Chains A and B, each alone.
Chain A
Amino acid sequence: MILKYGIRDFSRNLGFNIFVIIQITLVFITCVFTSSSVSQNLKYYNAFADILDGEGYCASPYINKLHRIIPSTEIKDNKRFSDYGDYFENVVAVHQIIATGENGSENPYPQKTFAYDGCLIYDYKPIMDNGEWLSDVKSESNLLHAVISPNHYGLKVGDIIKQEFSTSQDSICLDVKIVGMMKDGAKLFGATSDNDKISTVGGTTNKLTAEMLFSNYYSDIAGKPAFVYNLDELEQYEISYITEQKMLIPFRDNLTEISQAEEALDNFTIGAIPFSQIKKNTLSEIRKQIIILISIIVGLFMLTIVSIISFTAISTHKKLKDYGILYICGGRWKQCAFINFIVIAVDLILSSFLTCFVIQAMKLIGLLNNTVVMFTLNESLICLGVSIIIILVSLIMPIIIIGKTQPREIIKSNE
């Protein structure tokens, strides 16, 4: 019955409620944008948050006398590590594989390959143009998944190409499905061919941050698009890979022989920078940006509260006489407040749908192309939080406004 009254009340004040729906929608959209902005700031740190909390170093692998980068198999099998005991675990690195056309022919899709595992797949996601990131796809048999950068081959999300990869024994030809496309200039760990950022900046260790470990990848500059693979998928087929450039080398938990571990690092890496320094630099940078965003969040919060109070108060005031009549007919103030709550709930539901629709429409039109806006679980939770605040206020406000007023006074009032 109350539900019926609530819905009827909604339809009787349709114009006002449309205004309220638009206002709540805009508040939700602003929350989504703000949340995306905050996530963007924390993105690079979050990718390595757990690792940087521990002991370890960021360093580049040592290029031996033959100017050959140490093959990954040595690191994978811990051959060099084993000389010094098991000091390290879960090394974060960028790996490269060699992809050719079928039967070893020239690859029709020359590419710069990146193979990641661990946190670089599951805790970091570059800015995507369309499709999914590797962490969002399920592994399929006889099929590798790849995320690519913009390309002039005409490849797009959903395409499947044949590529041949070297394995430890021979080679294997597999289908590669393009599951996502990054935006041009998206940041990848180990994207740049020059080690300048880490080795040069590493020379002045007080500057390196988590963000600097990533570099923009531009297909034009590199001359070919990037193909990013999941190392776990490659290892299923025993595809060979080489470990390149910068690595994050965490020490094992509870390691006591720190100095021996550091000596081991000296033997096969250069430009080692401790995690503590990187974490300090990163948090300092984040703090500067977060202070800016906090002021925006405070403004947004005030706006949200004021908007909620104003439309709830106005809504209640408009219906005061109706509530008075309902009271006389047997209803109580709490039930009247609940009617108000139903109206707001309907507004919220419609606003949620409208928010999703507007954001999708903005994406399709291309208005969000040059932004970092995304609509993920975090953003949904924030909108949910705002909805809860709106609901609470809509429940409390009528009771405050009505207060101890008698229904007779309300009906007799001139307005």
Chain B
Amino acid sequence: MRYIVINLRNFIKDYTGIFFIVILCQLVSVLLMFFSFGVYQNFLNETNNAVNGSSLDENEYEGYHNFQVKNELPQNAEIYPANLSKFYDEVIDIVGEKIYTIYTECKNNIDISMEYRDGKLLFPQEFEYNIRKYFKWDFGRSFTDEEFFNGEKVCIAPSGCCEEFFDPEIHSFFDDEKGVSVPYDYPYKAYQSDDKWYVNIEGTEYECIAFFDAFNKYYIPYNNMPDKIKLKQLPIVELKYQLTAEENHKMQELYNQYFPNMADDFYELTLVDNEKIYYYNTNMWISVLIAVVSSINLALIINYVLARRRKSLAIFRIHGCSANKARRIYVLEIMLILNVVFAVCLVLWIAFLLPLLGRIFEYMEGAFSFKAYVLIYLCYILISYIFMNVITVKYVHNQPVDLLQRR
């Protein structure tokens, strides 16, 4: 330790100008490392926001929200529920978090309505609440997540299909031809067995866990649907965020794969602006390059400082200092300078620069947690330590005569 302090003192005394330049370069390099890390994190967040797309909140965004086919489904189209289940899984794989709801209308008033929650397609949570608030909930409860996801044989049915809740005044329509109100003909009528209500949908018995009075629809879980169910229209995917061009392309391909010759015309969506993403990527590259140049600058300076010590190193070696000890002396000397410079830069950064730059870069302040500082410090010290050891080994293993003769 004594020799380290003596070396440093002599360096400052004999080469003040060079020492000043070394410290200045190190200060600037370290500060720029902080800066480039902050810029990188800022634009990474901007890119993630751009890739996820703008929120499609109806109040803010004017444009089409749904991924939907324009084509009318042919009358004789047969789409099998087994495929539909796989189709939904692939939709999740492609657009996942951007899904708001998926809605598929089937024939005979069957609806498959889902929202994306917790990484799965589940029955809309607010369904029962909304029906109770705006319409009429006559009996029972909505699906539990387990029932819906596991495809259990339960359904929510319209009140009109159950004789207990049937009201001819409500559950009828006016026939223009006959000139009278005609009771609505429900395709599947509910029947009671063992104090429970059931309905037979295309040969499969479903327990009616609820009856509601709003629109004459039967809701069933999409997993495990009866084979004979036919779709009335292709699934509509309502989105929360804009899609990227790639996601849009994959979705179109998916529709074409599962519904060949039925999906070649889609409603136009406004996609994520690729140019913004390219711009943010460019800025991230800039921050990386700044960090790399700073590192090379530091390496150049460290290399030079070590090169200046070859004479004193030679003298140490002549007086019996082992190569390993000499290496440790020089590495520790540089590490001492680096640590002091890092500490000064840290104070300058936190006290002055970060608050100033935080006003310009939206996400920069949030990027600098305690963990981030520790990570930066460890990377900085580790890389410097490895580099210094590599350089020092080059010098210490030379013969003292070679070190003295070299210019």
A147 to B45, CA, bound (A): 34
A187 to B275, CA, bound (A): 8
A22 to B266, CA, bound (A): 51
Binds A, one of B141-149, B164-172, B189-197, B297-305: B297-305
Closest B residue, CB atoms, query A367 = B285
Interface presence of B89 (CB below 8 A): no
Interface presence of B254 (CB below 8 A): no
* Chain A residues positioned under 8 Å from B245 (CB to CB): 184-185, 218, 220-221
Q: CB distance A296 to B283 under 8 Å?
A: yes
Interface presence of A37 (CB below 8 A): yes
Which among A22, A296, A310 has the greatest number of chain B C-beta atoms within 10 A? A310
Q: CB distance A221 to B269 under 8 Å?
A: yes
Sample 7 A-B pairs with CB under 8 A, ordered by A number: A296-B283, A299-B290, A303-B29, A306-B25, A309-B21, A309-B24, A310-B21
Q: Do most interface residues of chain B lie in helix, strand or loop, or is the interface mixed?
A: helix
Closest A residue, CB atoms, query B308 = A415
A371 to B283, CA, bound (A): 9
Q: CB distance A30 to B286 under 8 Å?
A: yes
* Chain A residues positioned under 8 Å from B24 (CB to CB): 306, 309
Interface residues of A (CB under 8 A from B): 19-20, 22-23, 26-27, 29-30, 33-34, 36-37, 40-41, 127, 183-187, 192-194, 196, 200, 216, 218, 220-223, 291-292, 295-296, 299-300, 302-303, 306-307, 309-311, 313-314, 317-318, 321-322, 370-373, 401, 414-415
Which among A29, A127, A313 has the greatest number of chain B C-beta atoms within 10 A? A313
Q: CB distance A220 to B35 under 8 Å?
A: no
Assuming the contacts A218-B271, A296-B283, A307-B293, asked whether A127 and B278 have C-beta atoms less than 8 A apart, the reply is yes
Closest A residue, CB atoms, query B283 = A37
Shortest distance in angstroms between B48's beta carbon and chain A's nearest beta carbon? 14
Q: CB distance B248 to A218 under 8 Å?
A: yes
* Chain A residues positioned under 8 Å from B300 (CB to CB): 19-20, 23, 310-311, 314
Contact with A along B213-237 (1 / 0, CB 8 A): 0000000000000000000000000
A41 to B175, CA, bound (A): 63
A186 to B29, CA, bound (A): 37
Q: CB distance B278 to A23 under 8 Å?
A: no
Q: CB distance A37 to B274 under 8 Å?
A: no
Q: Which of A192, A292, A307, A371 contacts B282 (CB 8 A)?
A: A371
Q: Which of B195-223 contact A (CB under 8 A)?
A: none
Interface presence of B32 (CB below 8 A): yes
Q: Which of B265, B279, B287, B297 contacts A40 (CB 8 A)?
A: B279
Q: CB distance B286 to A302 under 8 Å?
A: no
Q: How many A-B residue pairs have CB under 8 A?
A: 144
Closest A residue, CB atoms, query B63 = A196
A52 to B35, CA, bound (A): 36
Assuming the contacts A40-B279, A415-B311, asked whether A303 and B294 have C-beta atoms less than 8 A apart, the reply is yes
A183 to B274, CA, bound (A): 9
Interface presence of B337 (CB below 8 A): no
Assuming the contacts A218-B248, A370-B281, asked whether A29 and B311 have C-beta atoms less than 8 A apart, the reply is no
A306 to B63, CA, bound (A): 50
Interface presence of B62 (CB below 8 A): yes
Q: CB distance B278 to A223 under 8 Å?
A: no
A152 to B35, CA, bound (A): 44
Assuming the contacts A216-B275, A220-B245, A303-B290, asked whether A33 and B282 have C-beta atoms less than 8 A apart, the reply is yes
Which among B24, B275, B287, B311 has the greatest number of chain A C-beta atoms within 10 A? B275
Q: Which of A196, A218, A371 contacts B285 (CB 8 A)?
A: A371
* Chain A residues positioned under 8 Å from B357 (CB to CB): 295
Q: CB distance B277 to A370 under 8 Å?
A: yes
A36 to B271, CA, bound (A): 24
Q: CB distance B268 to A221 under 8 Å?
A: yes
Closest A residue, CB atoms, query B361 = A292
Shortest distance in angstroms between B207's beta carbon and chain A's nearest beta carbon? 44
Q: CB distance A302 to B293 under 8 Å?
A: no
* Chain A residues positioned under 8 Å from B248 (CB to CB): 218, 220-221
Task: Give 3 nearest A-B pairs by CB, closest first.
Answer: A185-B274, A30-B289, A371-B282
Contact with A along B29-53 (1 / 0, CB 8 A): 1001001100100000000000000
Q: Which of A34, A196, A317 contacts B18 (CB 8 A)?
A: A317
A414 to B14, CA, bound (A): 11
Closest B residue, CB atoms, query A220 = B249
Q: CB distance A310 to B301 under 8 Å?
A: yes
Interface presence of B17 (CB below 8 A): yes
Shortest distance in angstroms between B257's beta carbon and chain A's nearest beta carbon? 15
Assuming the contacts A221-B269, A306-B29, asked whether A37 and B360 have C-beta atoms less than 8 A apart, the reply is no
Contact with A along B342-377 (1 / 0, CB 8 A): 000000000000000100110000000000000000
A401 to B17, CA, bound (A): 8
Interface presence of B292 (CB below 8 A): yes
Q: CB distance A220 to B62 under 8 Å?
A: no
Shortest distance in angstroms between B227's beta carbon and chain A's nearest beta carbon? 33
Interface presence of B73 (CB below 8 A): no
Q: Which of B35, B249, B308, B360 contacts A291 (CB 8 A)?
A: B360
* Chain B residues positioned under 8 Å from A29 (CB to CB): 289
Q: CB distance A373 to B297 under 8 Å?
A: no
* Chain A residues positioned under 8 Å from B277 (CB to CB): 370
Closest B residue, CB atoms, query A295 = B360
A370 to B300, CA, bound (A): 32
Interface presence of B407 (CB below 8 A): yes
Interface presence of B82 (CB below 8 A): no
A33 to B180, CA, bound (A): 76
A41 to B265, CA, bound (A): 35
Q: Which of A27, A40, A216, A314 contacts B293 (CB 8 A)?
A: A27
* Chain B residues positioned under 8 Å from A186 (CB to CB): 274-275
* Chain A residues positioned under 8 Å from B311 (CB to CB): 414-415
* Chain B residues positioned under 8 Å from A184 (CB to CB): 245, 274
A296 to B265, CA, bound (A): 45
Shortest distance in angstroms between B284's beta carbon and chain A's nearest beta carbon? 9
Q: Which of B21, B265, B289 contacts A223 (CB 8 A)?
A: B265
Q: CB distance A292 to B296 under 8 Å?
A: no
Interface presence of B105 (CB below 8 A): no
* Chain A residues positioned under 8 Å from B39 (CB to CB): 296
Shortest distance in angstroms between B34's beta carbon and chain A's nearest beta carbon? 10
Q: CB distance B296 to A306 under 8 Å?
A: no
